[in-house]
A and B are shown apart, each in its own frame.
Chain A
């Protein structure tokens, strides 16, 4: 740290200290020089006087030739310790009398004699030579040598005292400067502290006291003015921000309300179409109905897009982290788009890396939404050629996998200058596009934002008229909770047993069209439905009858859904208190679902809904309630949770025919060993063409039991064999097949329908 960076406090103290130190040193030096000069002058004067007196006293001794007297006179010098040597010379320069301070003293300057009166300071010694004049006649000369010993002592004392004074003054000066520097530094330091506080806490509501009217005082005044201005600006900005937020909130609410307003009639349209489809119609009418249905679906998709978009914009969309079967999810969307591609006479190819983990943790709904959007776009914008969907594994470790989803088409492509724009809101590559292909232009924006929320980014490469490639990469943690996923499947299996004519459901709904819609759906299932058009009726009805479930519209006259639910939940009858209540609502406002569940409702279904969705919710809740209320008196369906297999396919093919289902299992049991032998043999013989067709066969066999992993593996093997690539993988894939299929065989050992 340089002096420049030190605190102003230290700077001022240092400056004052240094100044006083330098002043003291200088004055000390000057005083020393002055004192030395003074001392020399006075010593010289004294010595001159002494020489004069001695000379004068010795006059008679010289003229009357009495060295004895001269010696006596010189002897008187012994009172002065400084006089080392004294000598009287006669005019012929011979020594007349001599004095030495003591006998051992060596005179270094025995012949210091000149024609004139003279003196010399040499190394702390003063030498003086003076003529003795009697009555205007020079009668001789006197020489004195004085050691300046006391001067040495004096200098030592001087420096001792000087150092004491120096230290004392310095310390006192330091204290004074420490005390006085506050005058300058305190206002600056307090200003600095306040400024730091302001910048740290962002609290602009400060005012520093102005202690003086000097530059610092002015600085403080200016600072206060500045802070006040900032404060005013901040307040103005806060108000503006609040206004903006309020208007944004109004926008959000408007969007939600709009979607609610649209959804209610949509529900009516879709429900009526559904019901109309089941009535006797001619072909033309069927076609029209289908078109109405498609249009309604598309409209719903658009509304959902807008809703999602407003949710994302408001930052209210949350990404779930649940364990799900990734391969199933991919297969479902592949299945869906295979059909669509087929309708447009496009080739739809897919390629799933066989090392993709089956179970991962993430948000399946949102991942599916992205895939569906991208695949939908690919098919939508491709007139001829193909759409390829490949899922590659970029990296994998024990905890997580990085997976790249690539959707490639041979469609119209996107001009280079539009590549950046397509992810922005409400934009398609060109406005012409909107007219030709429809859509809100929100799909990619939503998809990209969903990808962002899951830690990825959608990227695109495209050549106009040749096609586009969209890809994104996600890092997903491995899920190991396989049973969780199986539970959902087993539920579906016993659906049919749960709902029958004994099931009594109460619908609380004021809209007659919706009443009719629900009534028709449940009628087809032989479910007993009672209708109430408001909350009051609901409360009356539950007193008379016992219902298995209530479907509750939230917005009803008299008593609304929330209030009714509250009253039921506080019912004195224990059983009635626990009737499952499912909310029916057209508003997809953020947080409504949570509000319903908090209110004591068991489920939530958003209008417009598909009949399947409604049935699913009903089944789930009725079943749960039956299990709870009847203390498990109803035997749980004898279905074990399977680790490796999925019986959905078998159930759907031979739903009421256990014999057929058992046959299928038997066929599987027989085929597996044969397949294993064939695979191993062909691998050993390197007959890859044959191996490919065996893999094709095996693929359909494992599909019966829904073994997704093996299904993918076999498909991969088939492709590898056909293209004659990745031969190093064959053995690994076949070993996996043997391992897993043996486990499956063990698992299905006891499966009987």
Chain B
């Protein structure tokens, strides 16, 4: 078990610091995305009261594209001194207790409903290449492969949610700011 962890760690580092996209290609899409999610947490700060128990809880809503990958990625590692907790749920209510909610392959309207529910709560919503995710009030959305940006961020939503995203992260993202259109 310990040996496996070590190998995984190396793999992860290689996946992250590969340097070239070709090197990236050695990893599966979701291995990369899991690592990205992990790294997002390092550039994001939540309000104190929301992370009191030193845990970052990530909820994967309904569809789980990662399978075991994300557990492997997060296992035993800390982000900003906090340990990861991964839950998979279909219950909308549980989402409010989490710090990160990951959506993949979800209908527009239920998503909108959920996003508006989570609005103003210190929760980072991540979409897995969901069209107009950020425009709909999501915080981070993975873009399709080979796009100019690897992800897009709606920082205004983040601000409403009392979440601070480091400019270091923002510079890498396509910034979406049409939240006003929704209301």
Q: Which chain A residue shows the least CB distance to B15?
A: A65
B113 interface contact, C-beta 8 A: no
Known: A57-B168, A69-B172, A135-B80. A62 touches B36 (CB 8 A): no
Flag A435-472 by CB within 8 Å of B: 1 or 0 each: 00000000000000000000000000000000000000
B175 interface contact, C-beta 8 A: no
A105 interface contact, C-beta 8 A: no
CB atoms of A139 and B17 under 8 A apart: yes
A58-B172 Cα distance, complex, nearest whole Å: 11
CB atoms of B172 and A90 under 8 A apart: no
Contact partner of A135 (CB less than 8 A), chosen from B16, B42, B168, is B42
CB atoms of A96 and B80 under 8 A apart: no
A64 interface contact, C-beta 8 A: yes
Flag B3-35 by CB within 8 Å of A: 1 or 0 each: 000000000011011110100100000000000
Known: A134-B42, A135-B42, A135-B80. A64 touches B36 (CB 8 A): yes
A94 interface contact, C-beta 8 A: yes
CB atoms of B166 and A60 under 8 A apart: yes
A interface: dominant SS: mixed
Contact partner of B39 (CB less than 8 A), chosen from A63, A69, A96, A136, is A63
Q: Which chain A residue shows the least CB distance to B169?
A: A60
Contact partner of B150 (CB less than 8 A), chosen from A64, A90, A140, is A64
Contacts of B66 in A (CB 8 A): none
Say how far A546's CB is from chain B's closest CB, in angstroms. 159
A135-B42 Cα distance, complex, nearest whole Å: 7
CB atoms of B19 and A60 under 8 A apart: no
Flag A52-81 by CB within 8 Å of B: 1 or 0 each: 000001011111111101000000000000
Say how far A232's CB is from chain B's closest CB, in angstroms. 105
CB atoms of B172 and A60 under 8 A apart: yes
CB atoms of A140 and B17 under 8 A apart: yes
B86 interface contact, C-beta 8 A: no
Contact partner of B172 (CB less than 8 A), chosen from A66, A134, A136, is A66
Known: A60-B168, A60-B171. A67 touches B43 (CB 8 A): no
A90-B18 Cα distance, complex, nearest whole Å: 8
Contacts of A67 in B (CB 8 A): 19
Say how far B23's CB is from chain A's closest CB, in angstroms. 9
Contacts of B24 in A (CB 8 A): 65
A91 interface contact, C-beta 8 A: yes
Interface residues of A in 94-114 (CB under 8 A from B): 94-96
Contacts of B13 in A (CB 8 A): 91
A92-B19 Cα distance, complex, nearest whole Å: 9
Known: A57-B168, A59-B168, A135-B79. A64 touches B19 (CB 8 A): no
Contacts of B42 in A (CB 8 A): 63, 134-135
Contact partner of B18 (CB less than 8 A), chosen from A59, A65, A69, is A65
Contact partner of A139 (CB less than 8 A), chosen from B16, B78, B166, B169, is B16
Say how far B63's CB is from chain A's closest CB, in angstroms. 24
CB atoms of A90 and B168 under 8 A apart: no
Interface residue tally on B, bucketed by range: 20 to 34
Q: Which chain B residue shows the least CB distance to A64?
A: B172
Say how far B141's CB is from chain A's closest CB, in angstroms. 15
A136-B79 Cα distance, complex, nearest whole Å: 9
Contacts of B17 in A (CB 8 A): 62-63, 65, 90-92, 96, 139-140
Contacts of A135 in B (CB 8 A): 42, 78-80
Contacts of A139 in B (CB 8 A): 16-17
Contacts of B172 in A (CB 8 A): 60-61, 64, 66, 69
Known: A60-B169, A65-B24, A66-B172. A92 touches B150 (CB 8 A): no
A720-B166 Cα distance, complex, nearest whole Å: 149
A136-B17 Cα distance, complex, nearest whole Å: 16
Interface residues of B in 147-183 (CB under 8 A from A): 150, 166, 168-169, 171-172
Q: Which chain A residue shows the least CB distance to B150?
A: A64
CB atoms of B36 and A90 under 8 A apart: no
Contact partner of A96 (CB less than 8 A), chosen from B19, B36, B43, B171, is B19
Interface residues of B in 46-96 (CB under 8 A from A): 78-80
Say how far A530's CB is from chain B's closest CB, in angstroms. 161
Say how far B168's CB is from chain A's closest CB, in angstroms. 4
Residue among A61, A63, A92 having the largest count of chain B Cβ atoms under 10 Å: A63
Q: Which chain A residue shows the least CB distance to B24?
A: A65
Residue among A57, A94, A135, A140 having the largest count of chain B Cβ atoms under 10 Å: A135
A67-B150 Cα distance, complex, nearest whole Å: 13
Contacts of A136 in B (CB 8 A): 78
A244-B178 Cα distance, complex, nearest whole Å: 140
Contacts of B150 in A (CB 8 A): 64, 66
A626-B36 Cα distance, complex, nearest whole Å: 165
CB atoms of A94 and B169 under 8 A apart: no
A487-B17 Cα distance, complex, nearest whole Å: 147
Q: Which chain B residue shows the least CB distance to A68?
A: B172
Residue among B21, B36, B43 having the largest count of chain A Cβ atoms under 10 Å: B43
Flag A133-146 by CB within 8 Å of B: 1 or 0 each: 01110011000000
Contacts of A134 in B (CB 8 A): 42
Say how far A215's CB is from chain B's closest CB, in angstroms. 80
A433-B13 Cα distance, complex, nearest whole Å: 143
A96-B18 Cα distance, complex, nearest whole Å: 9
A96-B19 Cα distance, complex, nearest whole Å: 6
Flag B114-155 by CB within 8 Å of A: 1 or 0 each: 000000000000000000000000000000000000100000
A25-B42 Cα distance, complex, nearest whole Å: 57
Say how far A76's CB is from chain B's closest CB, in angstroms. 13
A140-B18 Cα distance, complex, nearest whole Å: 11
Q: Which chain B residue shows the least CB distance to A134?
A: B42
A139-B13 Cα distance, complex, nearest whole Å: 8
A107-B24 Cα distance, complex, nearest whole Å: 29
A95-B79 Cα distance, complex, nearest whole Å: 26
A555-B17 Cα distance, complex, nearest whole Å: 151
Contacts of A92 in B (CB 8 A): 14, 17, 19
A139-B9 Cα distance, complex, nearest whole Å: 12
A134-B18 Cα distance, complex, nearest whole Å: 16
Known: A69-B171, A69-B172, A134-B42. A63 touches B19 (CB 8 A): no
Flag A239-275 by CB within 8 Å of B: 1 or 0 each: 0000000000000000000000000000000000000
Q: Which chain B residue shows the least CB distance to A70?
A: B19
A65-B172 Cα distance, complex, nearest whole Å: 10
Say how far B80's CB is from chain A's closest CB, in angstroms. 6
A135-B150 Cα distance, complex, nearest whole Å: 22
Contact partner of B16 (CB less than 8 A), chosen from A57, A63, A69, A94, is A63
A61-B169 Cα distance, complex, nearest whole Å: 8
Say how far B10's CB is from chain A's closest CB, in angstroms. 10
CB atoms of A65 and B169 under 8 A apart: no
Residue among B17, B18, B39 having the largest count of chain A Cβ atoms under 10 Å: B17
Say how far A63's CB is from chain B's closest CB, in angstroms. 5
Q: Which chain A residue shows the least CB distance to B80?
A: A135
A91-B10 Cα distance, complex, nearest whole Å: 10
Say how far A625's CB is from chain B's closest CB, in angstroms. 151
Contacts of B36 in A (CB 8 A): 64
Contacts of A66 in B (CB 8 A): 150, 172
Can you list 19 residue pairs at the A/B interface with Cβ under 8 Å?
Answer: A60-B43, A60-B166, A60-B172, A63-B16, A64-B169, A64-B172, A65-B17, A65-B18, A65-B19, A65-B21, A66-B150, A69-B171, A69-B172, A96-B17, A134-B42, A135-B78, A135-B79, A135-B80, A140-B17
Known: A59-B168, A61-B168, A62-B16. 6 other contacts (CB 8 A): A64-B36, A65-B18, A65-B19, A96-B19, A139-B16, A140-B17
> Which residues of A come within 8 Å of B, CB atoms?
57, 59-67, 69, 90-92, 94-96, 134-136, 139-140
> Which residues of B come within 8 Å of A, CB atoms?
13-14, 16-19, 21, 24, 36, 39, 42-43, 78-80, 150, 166, 168-169, 171-172
A-B pairs, 4 with minimum CB distance: A60-B168, A90-B17, A63-B39, A91-B17
